[in-house]
Amino acid sequence: MTDMVYGALVEADQGEPVIPRWWRTVDRWTLAAIFGLFAIGILLGMAASVPLAQRNGLSDFYYVSRQAVFGVAALGTMCVVSMMSPLMVRRYAVLGFVAAAIAVALLPFLGTDFGKGAVRWYSLGFASVQPSEFLKPAFVVLSAWLMSASYDLSGPPGRLISFMLAVLIAALLVLQPDFGQATLLLAVWGVMYFIAGAPMLLMVVLAAGVMGAGVLAYGQSEHFARRIDGFLSADVDPRTQLGYATNAIREGGFFGVGVGEGKVKWVLPDAHTDFIIAVAAEEFGLVLCLAIMALFATIVIRSLLRLLRERDPFIRLAGAGLAVMIGMQALINIGVAVRVLPAKGMTLPFVSYGGSSVIAAGLALGMLLAFTRRRPQDDFSDILGRGK
């Protein structure tokens, strides 16, 4: 629909082979940052997953090998998706959203919790799948399409429809329960809605509604209340995950205690997933943590700067939503480890162990790279300049 308003995007030199055209138009700095995160993830996996493998009677580098396989699959997916046109990405995202939404809705009946108290996965025997990880990037692209369609005078009420979808998906996630993913999804939708031109008064009302829902969840959910109480408590139980992570970060200092010398990986059950940053801080120190944050900042800032040149509202909204989603998830993961935020059980994109997490991150980053590729079009400064 946005094509009718702004004109169809013209791809660069259709006679040029796909790969050379992709390499010429893709953001190489973002690409380099993604590969850097993958390399750090393998390095931290070698440090964090050995104790878990030994406890489970597996070879020392069993989980590292699986992470490498997941990572290669994710990087391959990312590259393939980044070569697609925005129209193709949108079409596949809509289909993916339908499939992932159905999968999330069926989790209470067919899913498993693997003893963690939250039904978030499908067990396939040889592996497991967490559909909410794939739902997030698909939802962002679908919401961007709906919001951009509302710019058309004869278009549908896209903002309202996207809001209803956001509330529905958030409700399904809360039922698992997965308050972290629900919060992330609503926050990303709010940012996209703000970029799309939402009135400030409406944003304040929505924020108040989210806070009210949080208060209700605190009173109705023991799982939610326990995490909030633990976060607000002045003292941290040193025998909890947050206690172990806090101590590990404190012990690491600026340069860490040394490779393989960390202790937190032997006591934290989620050291290779949710609390991977604690392992990084203890063994490699603040230096590596700052490097990880710099790589995520590079991806987000570079993407947003390139999107400033886009005149297609769908691409601007979808790209900004994906960039914010990736940056916000990284911020939440690190914030939980340093006790700035309550525990949410969220992985660090492309660094934490997990097949669904890594491959879904590759899919989201591939979409982001596809939206931020250079295209032969006029930016806003050129359009304004013609009116002089």
Apex 107 CA angle, 101 and 108, nearest 5: 130
Tokens 């791809």 sit on residue: 11
The domain spans of the chain are: 2-7+19-198+225-376
| Tokens (6 digits) for 383 | 């359009």
Tell me the angle at which helices 313-337 and 86-105 cross, rounded to the nearest 10 degrees.
Answer: 50
Q: Is 124 helix (H, G, I), strand (E, B) or coil?
A: coil
Q: State whether the Cα torsion 333-104-143-35 is positive or negative.
A: positive
Q: Which residues of 206-240 are buried (b: 16+ CB within 10 A; e: fewer)?
A: beeeeeebeeebeeeeeebeebbebbeeeebeeee
Write down how long the chain is: 388
Low-confidence ranges of the chain (pLDDT < 70): 1-15, 218, 220-224, 226-227, 229-239, 377-388
> What is the structure's pLDDT at 285?
92
Q: State whether the Cα torsion 377-380-381-387 is positive or negative.
A: positive
> What is the structure's pLDDT at 266?
84
332 Cβ contact partners less than 8 Å away, ≥ 6 residues apart: 180, 184, 341, 344, 346
> What is the structure's pLDDT at 57?
86
> What is the structure's pLDDT at 223?
62
